[in-house]
Structure 1
Amino acid sequence: MTNKSSGTSSINGEKSDGLGNSQHRTSDPSPPIVDLELNRVRSFHLINDVVHSFAWNQLNVQVKDRKTKRPLSILDSSNGIVHAGEMLAIMGPSGSGKTTLLNALAHRAAAAGATTTGNVLANGHIIGLQKLRELSSYVEQEDALIGSLTVRETVQFAASVALSSTTSKRKRVQRVDDLIARFGLQEQSHTIVGTPIKKGLSGGQKKRLGVASRLVTDPKVLFLDEPTSGLDSALSFEVMNYIKVVAKRHNLIIIASIHQPSSSTFKLFDKLCLLSKGKTCYFGPIDQGLGYFSSIGYQIPFETNPAEFYLDLINTDLIREGNDVFSRVQDITHNWPRSSTASQLQKDIEKSIADAKSAGNVFDLSNIKPQKANPWSIPVVLAHRSWIKAYRDIVVYGIRIIMYLGLAILMGTIFLRLKGTQDDIQPFINAIFFGSAFMSFMAVAYVPAFLEDLHTFNKERANGLVGPLAFSVANFIVGLPFLFIIAFLFSLVAYFLIGFQQTGTAFFKFTLWIFLDLVAAESLVVLVSVLFNIFVVALAVAALVNGLWMGVSGFLVPLNGLNPFWKYAFHYIDYQAYAFQGMMVNEFKDRVYDCAGLAQDGYHCMFSSDLNAVGKIRGSAVLENFGIGLSGEKVWVGLIIAIIAGYRILAYLVLRLRKN
């Protein structure tokens, strides 16, 4: 709490100068790196000391039991309070409720179908979802970093979507530079994060970058879900040590779920929340935990890591009713709410509420209006970021360009130099269908790249930075030039090898139909991936729908012979059908083909037309056989554009309606 007469505050034995700069005593046991970092240049202040305390009272989370269908408690009567400058470790064995508590505190869905009750408070006032998003950031266990961006670009783009447009360019650069420096990433500033093809940062550096990119948003509370997962003890200490530096220096509240930390990492935390099966086993200062457990009859063995001792004590992974472990955990969870430590915790929470009431609006955060980025600038920022990823990461479009060029060469050599005779009419039709259908089908290769973008969007949206409209617009715009390049290169190779109508107008119309087909196919992939955001499922569904569109496009079964159900239910919303029809008209409308046979023996023409008598077939006769009109090109272009818009709007609506 703040001492108003002296203008200083005390946090765990440390004095603060009131500006968020801690003044350590000479006996401070912090690791050497912390002391070095705290003594560095202090000209940049990441946050103001706005949130003095963050607490929760009688927090409960219930789900419906799958077997009994009755309410099942996965977090029971959890209480806690953390003050500015403190780091809290939420610990417990697997399934103890660590992530459930963290999500509940962050006002996120604690679990699928969960019901959360209780109060989350900041400065003694109940804080809602929107305000908490404005004042906090959440770093997921799985980072949302874009592998093709450099360290500097990652932090710069995070700043661009978070900082107000009134923030000067100089201040933005300073903030980015200071964050990179604070987390020891100066030497990696121009190193990419790393992709499956190109190696970049180490695991520890990625974790530090993930936290740094969240701190650029000026949070007062930082939630960390398993920040040391996948790291060895040395890297775990490195990551948490840098976080501690920032927390102490800027009076930041850190709440982290963590699993089996080393003793050195564990000692970096100020407070511990120990959970087992959703019940609290202990909440309080790290250095008082052993004393508490000793007082209820559980003494730590000699030369044992306290973190390992706590987890072994309450580990329920192999619990069976009636054995010693079951009895011990029951005893511990039974003792906690009756302990003086729990009583003191409740008093601290009540005192923070009472202080807030007596102070009036002094500590009320509802009146704080944090500056935000201009919403019109966010799609531009996202488009810029996506553009860099698209041309730099070969997985996004590079591999697809190679795939489509391979298809063009394949088609061009299979249907090589078709002639203007009736024997080549069917091969021409086959080439048109094969090109449009398989170009569309191969768009499923976009699924992994889009899911990565969607994963990043979900993380940024959950932190209140990016909305579904900005994401949808940026994703659509960035893809257009690359899809046009693919369509043009494919046409350039396949069109002339096959021997389609040799005019410039026909070539560019062919390219247009391929381009529209690709844009529609990618839009379908986006919709399917938003609906089914699991790679294998999205891939399977997109392939299935493309198979359906092939079947009802009018090639395998001509439109005049197509079953009425498939015709009226699906054909008229099939973009492949309109692309196929447009390419057919482009090829056959103005062409004439030779019939088989000689004049003296009589001509044998496959299609009936007014030129049969002279051994010719009008291309329009081929179109008539397929039930394709000659004057529908503009309508078909409009319908494909409408289908593209429909897919994109539906994808946007799904994103908008889906809860975080």
Structure 2
Amino acid sequence: MSTSQSLDVEKDAGTDYAHLTNESVRSFSWEGITVTVKDRYTKQPLEILSGVNGIVKAGEMLALMGPSGSGKTTLLNVLAHRKASGASVQESLHLNGAVTDLKTFRKLSSFVEQEDALVGSLTVRETLYFAARLALPSSVSKSERIARIEALLAAFGLQKQAETLIGTPIRKGVSGGQKRRVSVASQLITSPKILFLDEPTSGLDSSASFEVMNFVRNIAKQYKILAIASIHQPSTSTFDLFDKLLLLSRGKTVYNGAVRGVRDYFASLGHSMPLYMNPAEYILQLVNTDFSRDQEESDDKLAHLHSSWQRSTKAAAATSEIRSCVSDLSACAVLSDLTHDSANKFLIPLTLIHRSFIKSYRDIVAYGIRIAMYMGLAIMMGTVWLRLDPVQSNINAFTNAIFFGGAFMSFMAVAYIPAYLEDLHLYTKERLNGLYGPTAFMIANFIIGIPYLFIIAFLFSVVSYWLGNFRDSAEGFWVWVMWLFLDLVAAESLVVLLSSLIPIFVVALAATAFANGLWMSVNGFMVQPGTLNVFWRYVFHYIDYQAYVFHGMMVNEFGKRSYACETLPDGSCYCMYPSALQDQCMIDGKAVLSSYGYNTGNVGKYVGYMLAITLGYRLFGWLVLYLRKH
């Protein structure tokens, strides 16, 4: 479908998209943007952006270009009110000549990340649906949301792919170019006045790059959106789609003006472009000094380009345009009238739960593979500890099985890390766009896991409990299920905490594995609590959720069961654990518990400890996300 046809379809859809895109945002300007960081080697201040100015008007599309390390991504983040940690930023940003605060600005703008932070198990239509549910105020009716979704599907040529999955590592979905269009469309759902795009053509071929940027250009022109995109070496056809170019090198401006004036400007400086060469490629080669054989000559050439721009009439005209806009406050709209209402904060967790639920049953990586893993573990455990008789020679085997079941159920929670990191990536993008915060994310993440973790605990127990011949009673079975369920909830909460703290897969995996190894060592099985080293006991044992699981499962097995002693060849009886049943050649299971220092009471207290530890992990995870400045 061609772009013109797509836009005609949009008009036919009867959408109010144009009405909702307020055209009163006439300009976005910035002046004197300077970003300074501390050089990691010299420890001296280092400017990565130096006095950058610029202006974009409604309906225009600006390209931020420059070689690697030129500062274009930093500039894009500053313009989008995304501050880099550890950097000193001097800025003067104005919408219609007026200064805006972060909250207002985020309601007026949207940001398309370089990487597509999309839920792979959702369809294209569902992706836009949930974007609308999260971003649009509750005052927007269901029919209006549907109309807007249909309009965007039509405008971006995605109608035929509407019911196609975005795509997961296991299930193929839409193409790379279509993914980029979905990413842009999902940010346009709120009818933003300013659209930021970070490397929107990254990973796409020239044809797909042109396709994506052409859609953005048409949307910007039709609905008077200000579009600013950092872009790396576009093709000639893609480069010509932009209205303006801001070219950077080493954090300083080399050119800032109309794309159509690029060739003449550089020709006036003695750098004439070859007739049939891609102008974007030529100017990037011109300002890139990284691969120069004569570094001194390249530095001199670059310094000349910087100084030439500063002295040019184009630079003076751009500065004059910016300042005239700032001073002409009569032309400025009241920004509070342009912002849209926020979505209902109380409904956001429900929307996140709904989205996560769809992901959980479609994406087998999230829980399907984990269920298969746990079932394999259950079969292995049940057949290794197969139908153990309640005799004293099997007491150690029962104890080992209890430790193995609880500890390795917890350890295998590391399989949740990839799914959580995907959710965390999406959360980071949506938080930066002002859609919701860590509270809604944590609540939804916790609630959606509860039923699946219970199913895992139940299915594991159905196999392993009865095959192993643990205490034969319904009460014993359900108490076993309860402890494994609490074990999994705590283990998954630990994964959430560590993965939030270190959102790198390999590092999070190593940290979680180490933590589980620590909990296994001090949970009371390897070394009984009474003889455990004082340091490990008081620093770690009492906050070890595996310790309470092991304790509770031991009480469940041995608290209400007796075991036959060994009959010696001379007919006498040998009981390895003395108890009141010794004269009956039996061992009271409570004697086994006593050897560990356990008693049969206080089960409720230990359940409370488990809940407190789980809550602690979740609160610390929430705090990490709350304090992290992205």
In which range does the TM-score fall when normalised by the shorter chain? over 0.9
What is the match of residue 113 of structure 1? Answer: 86
Distance 1:428 1:38, change over 3 A: closer
What is the match of residue 477 of structure 1? Answer: 447
Of 500, 524, 528 in structure 2, the residue corresponding to residue 558 of structure 1 is 528
Q: Offset at 1:375? A: 0.2
Kept after mapping to 2: 8 A contact 1:33/1:241: no
Report the secondary structure of 1:188's partner residue.
Answer: coil
What is the match of residue 381 of structure 2? Answer: 411
Of 481, 506, 517 in structure 2, the residue corresponding to residue 547 of structure 1 is 517
Deviations 1:188-242 (A, max 9, x none): 1010000000100100000000000111122110000000000000000000011
Instruction: State how far apart, in whole Å, the 2-side matches of 1:171 and 1:582 are.
Output: 54
Report the secondary structure of 2:365's partner residue.
Answer: helix
Of 292, 299, 318 in structure 1, the residue corresponding to residue 291 of structure 2 is 318
Instruction: State how far apart, in whole Å, the 1-side matches of 2:69 and 2:449 are.
Output: 42
What is the match of residue 346 of structure 1? Answer: 319
Of 557, 566, 569 in structure 2, the residue corresponding to residue 587 of structure 1 is 557
- Counterpart check, 1:152 vs 2:125: yes
Deviations 1:591-642 (A, max 9, x none): 1111111595321111111111221100000000011111021111111011
Could you tell me which amino acid in structure 2 is paired with residue 428 of structure 1? F
What is the match of residue 603 of structure 1? Answer: 573
Kept after mapping to 1: 8 A contact 2:3/2:157: no
Distance 1:135 1:199, change over 3 A: same
Instruction: State how far apart, in whole Å, the 2-side matches of 1:148 and 1:122 are.
Output: 38
Q: Offset at 1:109? A: 2.3
Could you tell me which amino acid in structure 2 is paired with residue 613 of structure 1? D
Instruction: State how far apart, in whole Å, the 1-side matches of 2:469 and 2:507 are.
Output: 39
Kept after mapping to 1: 8 A contact 2:9/2:155: no
Of 381, 396, 415 in structure 2, the residue corresponding to residue 445 of structure 1 is 415
Instruction: State how far apart, in whole Å, the 2-side matches of 1:41 and 1:200 are.
Output: 24
- Counterpart check, 1:276 vs 2:242: no
User: Which runs of structure 2 are paired with 1:94-105 in the superposition (5 Å)?
Assistant: 94-105=68-79
Q: Offset at 1:165? A: 0.8
Instruction: State how far apart, in whole Å, the 2-side matches of 1:630 and 1:36 are.
Output: 75
Instruction: State how far apart, in whole Å, the 1-side matches of 2:339 and 2:105 are.
Output: 12
What is the match of residue 253 of structure 1? Answer: 226
Of 207, 218, 229 in structure 1, the residue corresponding to residue 202 of structure 2 is 229
- Counterpart check, 1:91 vs 2:61: no
What is the match of residue 51 of structure 2? Answer: 77
What is the match of residue 628 of structure 1? Answer: 598
User: Which runs of structure 2 are paired with 1:232-631 in the superposition (5 Å)?
Assistant: 232-319=205-292, 322-356=295-329, 358-359=330-331, 362-366=332-336, 368-598=338-568, 601-631=571-601
Instruction: State how far apart, in whole Å, the 1-side matches of 2:83 and 2:553 are.
Output: 49
Instruction: State how far apart, in whole Å, the 2-side matches of 1:529 and 1:41 are.
Output: 42
* TM-score normalized with structure 2 length: 0.97
User: Which runs of structure 2 are paired with 1:19-58 in the superposition (5 Å)?
Assistant: 33-42=2-11, 43-44=14-15, 45-46=17-18, 47-58=21-32
Instruction: State how far apart, in whole Å, the 2-side matches of 1:610 and 1:495 are.
Output: 28
Report the secondary structure of 2:315's partner residue.
Answer: helix
Q: Offset at 1:131? A: 1.4
Could you tell me which amino acid in structure 2 is paired with residue 545 of structure 1? A
Question: Which runs of 5 or more structure 1 residues have no equivalent in the other structure?
Answer: 1-31
Kept after mapping to 2: 8 A contact 1:94/1:317: no
Of 179, 203, 219 in structure 1, the residue corresponding to residue 192 of structure 2 is 219
Could you tell me which amino acid in structure 2 is paired with residue 90 of structure 1? L
Instruction: State how far apart, in whole Å, the 2-side matches of 1:319 and 1:305 are.
Output: 20
Instruction: State how far apart, in whole Å, the 2-side matches of 1:143 and 1:50 are.
Output: 30
Report the secondary structure of 1:126's partner residue.
Answer: coil
Instruction: State how far apart, in whole Å, the 1-side matches of 2:4 and 2:165 are.
Output: 30
Q: Offset at 1:319? A: 4.0
Q: Offset at 1:414? A: 0.7
Q: Offset at 1:37? A: 4.4
Q: Offset at 1:309? A: 1.1
Q: Offset at 1:354? A: 1.4
Instruction: State how far apart, in whole Å, the 2-side matches of 1:104 and 1:437 are.
Output: 47
Could you tell me which amino acid in structure 1 is paired with residue 599 of structure 2? G
Kept after mapping to 1: 8 A contact 2:63/2:242: yes
Deviations 1:269-305 (A, max 9, x none): 0000101111100000100111111111111112111
Q: What is the root-mean-square deviation of aligned Cα atoms in Å?
A: 1.4
User: Comparing 122-131 with 319-328, which one deviates more in the overlay?
Assistant: 319-328
What is the match of residue 14 of structure 1? Answer: none
Kept after mapping to 1: 8 A contact 2:120/2:165: yes
Instruction: State how far apart, in whole Å, the 1-side matches of 2:458 and 2:425 are.
Output: 31
Kept after mapping to 2: 8 A contact 1:149/1:193: yes
- Counterpart check, 1:167 vs 2:137: no
Kept after mapping to 2: 8 A contact 1:221/1:253: yes
**What is the aligned residue count?**
625
Deviations 1:344-396 (A, max 9, x none): 0000001101112x44xx52314545211110000000000001101110000
Report the secondary structure of 1:309's partner residue.
Answer: helix
Could you tell me which amino acid in structure 1 is paired with residue 23 of structure 2? D
Kept after mapping to 1: 8 A contact 2:289/2:295: no
Could you tell me which amino acid in structure 2 is paired with residue 461 of structure 1? R
Instruction: State how far apart, in whole Å, the 1-side matches of 2:420 and 2:522 are.
Output: 27
- Counterpart check, 1:205 vs 2:210: no
Instruction: State how far apart, in whole Å, the 2-side matches of 1:494 and 1:485 are.
Output: 14
Instruction: State how far apart, in whole Å, the 2-side matches of 1:54 and 1:410 are.
Output: 64
Instruction: State how far apart, in whole Å, the 2-side matches of 1:366 and 1:71 are.
Output: 38
Q: Offset at 1:587? A: 0.4
Kept after mapping to 2: 8 A contact 1:585/1:623: yes
Q: Offset at 1:325? A: 2.5
Report the secondary structure of 1:394's partner residue.
Answer: coil
Kept after mapping to 1: 8 A contact 2:165/2:174: yes
Q: Offset at 1:469? A: 0.5
Instruction: State how far apart, in whole Å, the 2-side matches of 1:35 and 1:184 are.
Output: 10
Report the secondary structure of 1:197's partner residue.
Answer: coil
Instruction: State how far apart, in whole Å, the 2-side matches of 1:582 and 1:171 are.
Output: 54
